[in-house]
Structure 1
Amino acid sequence: MGKHAGPTRLRQRDTKSDTTSDTTGVVRVRPLPVKSTVRLRRPLEARHWHKPAFSAAVAIAVPDLALLALDRMDLVLYTSAGAMCALYGHNKPYAARARTVAWVVLSMIASLAVALVSSAFIGNTVLLVLIASALAAVHKMMCDATRIGPPGNLIITFISASAFFVPQPPGLIPFHLLLAVAGGAVAWLVCMAPWLVRPEGPQRIATARALEAAAGLLRAAPDAAGPRHATAAAVNAAWQTLFLVPARSAAKYTARARLERLLIQAESALSESAPSKPAAGARAADAARFDAWAHDLRRGRPLPEVALDAGQTAELAGIAADQAALAGTGTETRTGSGADAGSGQGGGVAGLRRPSPDHLRGFRPVLAQLRPGSPLLPVGARVMIGCTLAGWASMAIGSEHPYWAVVTAASVFQANTTLSWQRAVQRALGNLLGLLLFTALLPVIHTGHLAMVLLVLLFQIGAEAWIPRNYWLGSVCVTPMALLLTSFGNAMPAGVLVRDRWVDTVVGAVIGLICCVLVTNRRATDRIEAAVARVVAAREAADELLAADPPDDADLPNDADPPDSAGLPDDREVGWARDRLAAALVELREAVEVASGEWWQRALPAERVALTERDGHRTLARLVRRLTAPTLAA
């Protein structure tokens, strides 16, 4: 239903104003923003809204129209559980998307099974609210740990919480779960369908974002920290995307190799420092070239032929030789600068970059995020307590839909108190306007199920189109869509629906905010300390590798022999050091932004963070220069 999960970037001046001390014993109360809460973002940031929007609309339309033809619209909730999974995975390459959407479908089915079994065998509403809240906390922690991306935990929580309060005969549970599986299969097929048209689409977009960020860095002041952070994050994300792209055939290898060459060009912008920066005109020309490449990538045009310089070619050649030696295949490697450089026989992957050996894969990163002492545990506690209290308060008031209060409280809990405050205000405003829209459309809704299905599809598309502009604007569509989905299986007077929805929204938002303030995430500052330690360790390891490098031949005396290459770091090791340092810097910046939005928090070590980031980016620039001769100076 929308971009519900990812925390937005806090403005740099707000962070600085609230984190100017290293005194860890001081507790500060940070102001909560108002104007930025309802401000609309630029349309440029919402350029890809149509992909999840139309994917979900098609995935919902197929089973809904089938149920309409069979006159069984009371089963819409179960098919929608699987169909809504079409909102996930659109930022991943198709091989990884297939796995991601499959896991989301399985998670949805498992959550729905818990809800249906609970509904069938537990008649105590108080206990149902408690179980639904515990499940919502699990959804939040798992989605944050896996970094699943938009729409995060809210879709799974909405569907499962609704199912807790739907009367459920035990004998029909397998049939209803089978309907959800069918909806999930449709969602999986819809998500994978664009592969037939643009099989390289996701990795092209990730590379384009890195090029655009690098262009912004070139246009910014040489000492600007914001663009440098953004470029490092975009380049790191693009490499992680390319690491997920298989290269089992010559054609796939060639396509990925060309993207890697473009990404190396974007990464070279990080090697530029203020003392050796090129002329402003040269930087502007390179930025324009990066933007042009990014535009071609987004438009699906043929990949540009990018000639690498000597340093960049040497990097890929070194990677190819190392991987061929490790494989023991003796594969012949071509080291030219063309698109096929480094390709091997039999669709080998020699010459393509790979993540470092200590890069966690599979379930290990998730388990590492959920270990004791993790900053996700206080977030889970917030969700559990807030959703439970919101549901019980809704019951006490007399609402017939306490799960709406549970879902509202779950949606309020974001990465920190500031973002939670913004989400609470946005949801309340959007729900109020959405209820007014639903009331205005009642004459159309009463014409029949076909009109209701068409409105659901229209609202789904509208929600995805508007949520990137601001969450409250998307909620204007989400609210009537949720009411329509509820009305299919259990028709109620419109006045009761509107009243309960508004009351539950206010109750969930208020209690959610209270829990955010009272259940503070004091581990947010500890996360900064750990992130600083990781950056320092990665930088020191990189400095050791750089110190072991031989001097340039031009610096050697005429009668001196070149240094022995034994024991010197190869390009593969230096590349891994670069990846570790870049990832550590991205994690540090994210930790600072999360902690900066906590309303009741110790003063952050701003000076130490600034020094760590400065030294880390300087070492990162040296690593990039070590591996790639600066493109901008060519």
Structure 2
Amino acid sequence: MYAESVTRTETAARTPSRLTHSSEAIAHTASGATWRAAFRVGSADATIAPAIRVGLATAVVLVVGGLLGHRELAGFAALGALCAAFGRYEPYPRLAGKLAMVGAALVASIAFGSAMGVVGVPMWLQIGILSLLAGASYCFMSGFRITGPGPVILVFAATGAAGYASSVDDLARLVTAGALGVVVGWVAAMLPALVLPMGPARLAVARAVSAVGRLEQSGTGAVEPALGSIANARLVIASSGRIKSTVDHGRELVAVLDEAEAAVQQWQLHGDATLIRSIAQHEKELRKLKRSSMIEHDLAPAPTLAAPEGYFLEGLRRLYSRPVRMNALRIVAASALAGWLAAGAGLEHPLWASMGAIAAMQGLNYKQTVQRGIQRLVGNVGGAVVAAGLIALTLGYWQAVAVIVILQTAAELLVIKNYALTSLAVTPMALLLIGFSAPIGTEAAVARVADTLIGVVIGIVVAAVTISRSDRHHVTV
């Protein structure tokens, strides 16, 4: 009993109080290492095809909207088409369902925002309601593990609709435009399934093989990531469909993963890297765009495939998990506080401050929240300069469409590498889209920076005050 009491006392002594932990978190934001990390450009592979798909979907809806004479609605159709930006690298059967859910959520957000505009909900109440929408959107995307731009897109869609719609007819037109955009985005994202149904599975196996190939240079610390990459590749293969061509190819890919797992075990037990070097040679072949190919080696295909992952029911259960609920509450609080503070300061677009807080708090932990906040702020400053220059040029509709498509494609190319670079492209793109439905001047770019600053600061402060005691990612060991 005494020993247990001493152990509990020592543990309590090592565990900082919430005030101390929050103070350490706030101090982390001023660290030079934190700012250097925010500007670090990461590596990314297989980014071109997803970026082209999103750019293509955006171009289609903007061009069609312009040709049909509905230029003021084209921006909302483009927001619907952004569903193509979600779930990159997912196996196509699973991607089809997730994109349909995202599309439905985008249309619902447009309808919801339009309804607020029609009713004439005052700004302070809009801020509160859309902050609740942000929390619900976070639960939805976290629960179903939908990767991509995150809840901020749904809030942006609702915000734009609330500012535009003034009648039931407007509501119907916006919802129709958004729904048509979703259809275009869904089709653009799913088109490769007709030609390369096992593309995501091949990429996942290539990444697993690459992770195994790095073991010899990286040491034992790379074992867990390698095994995790192998496990993820197995799930992707299992979820890639059950037609004969995908099953046969999937069995071949599973055999490669079996060999990769054996290579890891051999290296761990005997320090023998022979099999690691052998398996690493398959990466180049796996990254080729092939519909169905057998990797040239002596492995027999695996006899069976694992059952596909039941992501929907599991997602429903995760919706109500405590970590998801707690972070959703933090997002609601940060979004509402940022918006109300911006409104109280007399800023013209207080909901932009709310979106700044939401975007920052999409990080998985406090360290990522701070990094995203810094990146969004810096990216918005640079993007505002670009936006001011573009707005000053008074671009015509078609010139603006060309710029938007280029910026959207660039954002998708850069999103995995560095969020600041993504914000640099997204900020002028978003302002140009707004310009389709309402006149906008260069002062809007300055307002965007001011609102973002408020949102980021509030988001980081709320994250620090509510930080979990177990969140030590930002602490230098």
**TM-score w.r.t. length of structure 1:** 0.68
Selected match of 2:106 from 105, 108, 111: 108
Counterpart CA distance in 2 for 1:69 and 1:217 is: 55
Q: 1:415 aligned to 2:368?
A: no
Selected match of 2:295 from 293, 297, 304: 304
Instruction: Tell me the CA shift for residue 239 of structure 1.
Output: 1.0
The letter of the residue matching 1:244 is S
The letter of the residue matching 2:155 is T
Instruction: Tell me the CA shift for residue 429 of structure 1.
Output: 0.7
Selected match of 2:226 from 204, 219, 231: 231
Q: 1:287 aligned to 2:267?
A: no
Q: Which residue of 1 aligns with 2:266?
A: 272
The letter of the residue matching 1:98 is A
Counterpart CA distance in 2 for 1:34 and 1:90 is: 28
The letter of the residue matching 2:463 is C
Counterpart CA distance in 2 for 1:216 and 1:54 is: 30
Per-residue displacement from partner, 1:565-622 (whole Å, max 9, x unpaired)? xxxxxxxxxxxxxxxxxxxxxxxxxxxxxx22367xxx9xx9xxxxxxxxxxxxxxxx
Counterpart CA distance in 1 for 2:332 and 2:125 is: 13
The letter of the residue matching 2:452 is T
Q: 1:354 aligned to 2:307?
A: yes
Q: Which residue of 2 aligns with 1:256?
A: 250
The letter of the residue matching 2:371 is Q
**Structure 2 spans left out of the alignment, 5+ residues:** 1-9
Q: Which residue of 2 aligns with 1:193?
A: 191
Q: Which residue of 2 aligns with 1:240?
A: 235
Q: 1:597 aligned to 2:470?
A: no
Q: Which residue of 1 aligns with 2:461?
A: 514
SS in 2 for 1:353: coil
Q: Higher helix share goes to which structure?
A: 2
Instruction: Tell me the CA shift for residue 290 of structure 1.
Output: 2.5
The letter of the residue matching 2:129 is I
The letter of the residue matching 1:120 is V
Q: Which residue of 2 aligns with 1:202?
A: 200
The letter of the residue matching 2:328 is G
Per-residue displacement from partner, 1:473-497 (whole Å, max 9, x unpaired)? 12111110011011111012222x1
When residues 171 and 442 of structure 1 are mapped into structure 2, their CA distance, relative to the original with a 3 A threshold, is: closer
Q: 1:26 aligned to 2:16?
A: yes
> Is the 2:197–2:246 Cα contact (8 Å) retained in structure 1?
no
Counterpart CA distance in 2 for 1:432 and 1:72 is: 31
Q: 1:174 aligned to 2:172?
A: yes
Per-residue displacement from partner, 1:52-111 (whole Å, max 9, x unpaired)? 321111111112112212332111232123111011222112222211211111111122
Per-residue displacement from partner, 1:290-327 (whole Å, max 9, x unpaired)? 3321111111353314434xxxxxxxxxxxxxxxxxxx
> Is the 2:85–2:412 Cα contact (8 Å) retained in structure 1?
no
**TM-score w.r.t. length of structure 2:** 0.89
Selected match of 1:158 from 153, 156, 170: 156
- Aligned positions of 1:543-582 closer than 5 A: none
Counterpart CA distance in 1 for 2:403 and 2:47 is: 19
Q: Which of the two has higher C-alpha Rg?
A: 1
Per-residue displacement from partner, 1:402-428 (whole Å, max 9, x unpaired)? 221111110010222221111111111
Per-residue displacement from partner, 1:109-157 (whole Å, max 9, x unpaired)? 1222221112211431111111111001111122122111122323223
Selected match of 2:379 from 408, 430, 436: 430
Q: Which residue of 1 aligns with 2:88?
A: 90
When residues 268 and 160 of structure 1 are mapped into structure 2, their CA distance, relative to the original with a 3 A threshold, is: farther
Counterpart CA distance in 1 for 2:379 and 2:406 is: 17
Instruction: Tell me the CA shift for residue 519 of structure 1.
Output: 2.2
Query: Aligned Cα RMSD in Å?
Result: 2.3
SS in 1 for 2:161: helix
Selected match of 1:440 from 367, 389, 408: 389
- Aligned positions of 1:274-423 closer than 5 A: 274-278=268-272, 283=273, 285-300=274-289, 302-308=293-299, 337=300, 339=301, 342=303, 351-354=304-307, 361-371=310-320, 374-413=322-361, 414-423=363-372
The letter of the residue matching 1:256 is G
> Is the 1:387–1:410 Cα contact (8 Å) retained in structure 2?
yes
Counterpart CA distance in 1 for 2:36 and 2:275 is: 34
Counterpart CA distance in 1 for 2:99 and 2:232 is: 20
> Is the 1:132–1:164 Cα contact (8 Å) retained in structure 2?
no
Counterpart CA distance in 2 for 1:48 and 1:482 is: 25
Give aligned pairs, total: 454
When residues 402 and 211 of structure 1 are mapped into structure 2, their CA distance, relative to the original with a 3 A threshold, is: same
The letter of the residue matching 2:344 is A
> Is the 1:145–1:366 Cα contact (8 Å) retained in structure 2?
yes
Counterpart CA distance in 2 for 1:437 and 1:175 is: 31
Q: Which residue of 2 aligns with 1:459?
A: 407
Instruction: Tell me the CA shift for residue 368 of structure 1.
Output: 2.6
When residues 450 and 194 of structure 1 are mapped into structure 2, their CA distance, relative to the original with a 3 A threshold, is: same
> Is the 1:378–1:521 Cα contact (8 Å) retained in structure 2?
no
> Is the 1:219–1:287 Cα contact (8 Å) retained in structure 2?
no
Q: Which residue of 2 aligns with 1:476?
A: 424
Q: Which residue of 1 aligns with 2:446?
A: 499
Counterpart CA distance in 2 for 1:191 and 1:291 is: 30
Q: Which residue of 2 aligns with 1:49?
A: 47
Counterpart CA distance in 1 for 2:289 and 2:50 is: 19
Instruction: Tell me the CA shift for residue 260 of structure 1.
Output: 0.8
Instruction: Tell me the CA shift for residue 273 of structure 1.
Output: 5.6
> Is the 2:145–2:315 Cα contact (8 Å) retained in structure 1?
no
Instruction: Tell me the CA shift for residue 40 of structure 1.
Output: 2.9
Instruction: Tell me the CA shift for residue 231 of structure 1.
Output: 0.6
Q: Which residue of 2 aligns with 1:528?
A: none
SS in 1 for 2:191: helix
> Is the 1:161–1:407 Cα contact (8 Å) retained in structure 2?
no
